[in-house]
Structure 1
Amino acid sequence: PGRSSARPPRAAAMAAWQLLPSRWPALRQGWLVFLSLVALSAVRRWLLSKASGDRPPRRGGAGRGGSSNRGGSGHRLTVPEAAPPARQEPRCALQRALRLGEASPVKDGVVSRRPRAEAPKATGGTRTWHGGVGASVALPSASSPGSLASEEELGPRWHCGGARRWLWLHDGSRSNGWIEFRRGGQLKTSFGGGGTGSWERRQTDEIVATFGKCHHVLELLPPEGDTTPTFALRKRAMKDGSPVRDKRPPRTRGVLEAGRPSAARPG
């Protein structure tokens, strides 16, 4: 009786074992499909995690006030912040004019309109435009005879036939500008884009020309034949009393501008 009860399970196991070779190809194919799906899912998760790690943090993240979630596949979903409201244009012409500065605020119930500022005009010369880009050059105008210093102011030695403009030779040989003696101790120069200064004649017949930051003591050199009148810069002093940086003797010379008409004498 014991043997007869053990035979049915053994027979069933033997029957299943005999059927296994016939079903093995189908089972193997199913296992391969399952393993392939698992591998693809793992690769996809790895790629998504790497891509999210390389991206810079967004402004709408959870750390900046936004909200973020993760789906079932691991992909992070970020909710962007609301865009700032667009700038609204003034609803009426008055508000637009006030914003652009064309109208002044309301005063006594009346809105006054401000005139637009005009571009400054160059004085003493002609304004020239180059290529329409707004670059201008102010050309010096010819001095009128009445504005030049008189012979009584300068003295007979500095009169020089009525010419008043002297070329400034900063190194004793090359000119880098000019000065011009005018009535009332006024000095006109080409330095600083056309500046002004002052001058005075001493009892020693020296002239102190003041322009820029310095006082320049000018001494007229003795004439040599028919040479052009020349002066030498004997001394230079700072207007604020500070010491002069260059301690070497000055080499600056001044030469009367050639070609000045003798008719330009002061009246």
Structure 2
Amino acid sequence: MPSDVLSKTYSRLHRGWLFFLSIVAVGLLRRWLLSDVSKDRPRVRVGEQDARRPRSGRSKSRESARQSGNAISSPTLSPPQKALASEEELGPSWHFGGRRRWQWMHNGSSPNGWIEFGCNGTLRTTWYPGSWEILPGGKELVASFGKCHHVLALDPAVDPNAPEFFVRERIMRDGSKARDRPGPTSRGRLDMQESINDAP
């Protein structure tokens, strides 16, 4: 009997000792790996894991501000347009005498940003750089920025001296289903304060 008890005790101690050694080994390996990796990349505080992954459309200055810990709470502007879109690019329906900047109204009534159509399909916005293209027929266009393609249609019911568009459809860039938002659809109003600058 005492030999049975002794062998069971030895077996338990042996398993416990192996468990303890494996935990210590994993901890040392983790510490070694983290020390080599931390030389090449900045440390990330808890809650900032998403900042390490670059998102498409995010400007480099905004990304570097996040990594340095000096994140800006207000949105950063897209890079300045080299040239605005020409009438030939936009077509007569979207030309409006050379004005290219539209106030963006996410809630359908109050401006919270703007978009501006540049040459060669470049789009400048309050939030992210993007692109645009006229759809066949020339009455609708797709403005792509952030995570969505926004299908914009001119609203014929408003005063032609203060044109507006509405977002007819939002399509997620990654192919996922767009979330349904309660309330009014996003709209845009031509910025009548913008100086007219016809692009060549």
1:1-267 paired onto structure 2 within 5 Å: 147-191=83-127, 195-204=128-137, 205-222=139-156, 224-225=158-159, 227-246=161-180, 248=182, 251-262=185-196, 264-267=197-200
Report the identity percentage: 48
Find the aligned partners of 1:247 and 1:141 in 2 and give their Cα distance: 26
Find the aligned partners of 1:239 and 1:218 in 2 and give their Cα distance: 16
Find the aligned partners of 2:149 and 2:79 in 1 and give their Cα distance: 26
Rg larger in structure = 1
Amino acid of the structure 1 residue aligned with 2:199 = P
Unpaired stretches in structure 2, ≥5 consecutive residues: 1-59, 62-69
Find the aligned partners of 1:235 and 1:183 in 2 and give their Cα distance: 24
8 Å Cα contact 1:234-1:250 kept in structure 2: no
Unpaired stretches in structure 1, ≥5 consecutive residues: 1-120, 123-132
Q: Secondary structure at the match of 1:258?
A: coil
Find the aligned partners of 1:153 and 1:141 in 2 and give their Cα distance: 21
CA shift for structure 1 position 143: 5.9
Amino acid of the structure 2 residue aligned with 1:203 = P
Residues 224-246 of structure 1: per-residue CA shift (max 9 Å, x gap):
44541100100001111111122
Q: Secondary structure at the match of 2:108?
A: coil
Find the aligned partners of 2:122 and 2:106 in 1 and give their Cα distance: 21
| 4+ aligned runs moved over 4 Å, structure 1 | 137-144, 223-226, 247-250
CA shift for structure 1 position 248: 5.0
Amino acid of the structure 1 residue aligned with 2:85 = A
Q: Secondary structure at the match of 1:216?
A: strand
TM-score (norm 2): 0.57
The 1:172/1:247 distance shift into structure 2, 3 A limit, reads closer
Find the aligned partners of 1:237 and 1:141 in 2 and give their Cα distance: 21
Amino acid of the structure 2 residue aligned with 1:165 = R
Residues 32-74 of structure 1: per-residue CA shift (max 9 Å, x gap):
xxxxxxxxxxxxxxxxxxxxxxxxxxxxxxxxxxxxxxxxxxx
Bigger relative contact order, structure 1 or 2, given CA contacts below 8 A and separation 6+? 2
Size of the aligned set, in residue pairs, is 133
Aligned residues: CA RMSD: 3.2
The 1:249/1:184 distance shift into structure 2, 3 A limit, reads farther
Find the aligned partners of 2:76 and 2:185 in 1 and give their Cα distance: 29
